[in-house]
């Protein structure tokens, strides 16, 4: 990694950025999770690049298309700019093994595979060893581990996810994480 590589804060989308209502793809159904803007402003002010990495199997399942996903993503990115926490990028995986072509493939981007994180690293020149991922599922944490991220944090109140994830730390909500001074200190670049 070059001396100019910067650390990132990677985030899962559904359940971390927005309330997971299941296959959210319309603006009117998108509800930001309380605390997400505070958390991202803190990370951005510390010099971290803000990156979303998200599985979007609703595309493979035919629930919505790439155009609908991209429309919602552009709207979401504009909200983060308005909030003072611009996203460096959003990477998504539309695949699902067993789904119809062209999305029914076993790819290297569907979490828990590390492909989305590695693609962001390559595109943005990120220092993964000094980066953090925040997810709400064990597969998010596994993806971070497989990519070599320095920290993987879980936001969940579900015992099964907590037990399966082996995260570095766990918070019950994004708002609790955003308010935690330990997390704020970890987000600050050393």
| Both structure tokens of 16 | 């971390």
Q: How far apart are CA 19 and CA 32, in angstroms?
A: 6
Q: Active-site residues: which are they?
A: 12, 14
The backbone torsions φ and ψ at residue 20, rounded to the nearest 5 degrees and listed phi first, read: -85, 95
Helices within the chain (DSSP H only) = 36-45, 57-60, 66-82, 115-124, 138-147, 159-165, 174-179, 181-187
pLDDT of res. 3:
63
Q: pLDDT tens digits for 123-143?
A: 999 999 999 999 999 999 999
Residue pLDDT, tens place only, 87-101: 999 999 999 999 999
Q: Kindly state the tokens that stand for 130.
A: 């000094």
Nearest to 84 by CA among 13, 36, 123, 139: 36
User: pLDDT tens across 38-80, in order?
Assistant: 999 999 999 999 999 999 999 999 999 999 999 999 999 999 9
Written as six digits, the tokens of 189 are 């670049």
């Amino acid at each position: 990694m070059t001396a100019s590589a910067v650390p990132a804060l990677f985030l899962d989308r559904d359940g971390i950025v927005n309330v997971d209502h299941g296959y959210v793809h319309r603006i009117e159904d998108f509800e930001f999770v309380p605390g997400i803007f505070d958390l991202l402003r803190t990370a951005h002010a510390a010099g971290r690049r803000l990156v979303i990495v998200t599985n979007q199997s609703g595309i493979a399942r035919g629930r919505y298309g790439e155009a609908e996903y991209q429309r919602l993503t552009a709207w979401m990115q504009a909200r983060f700019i308005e909030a003072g926490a611009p996203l460096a990028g959003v990477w998504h995986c539309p695949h699902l093994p067993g789904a119809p072509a062209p999305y029914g493939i076993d790819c290297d981007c569907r979490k828990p595979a590390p492909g989305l994180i590695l693609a962001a690293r390559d595109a943005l020149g990120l220092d993964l060893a000094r980066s953090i991922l925040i997810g709400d599922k064990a597969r998010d944490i596994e993806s971070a581990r497989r990519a070599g991220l320095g920290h993987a944090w879980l936001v969940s109140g579900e015992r099964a996810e907590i037990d399966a994830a082996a995260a570095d730390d766990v918070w019950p909500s994004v708002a609790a994480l955003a308010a935690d001074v330990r997390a704020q200190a970890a987000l600050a670049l050393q």
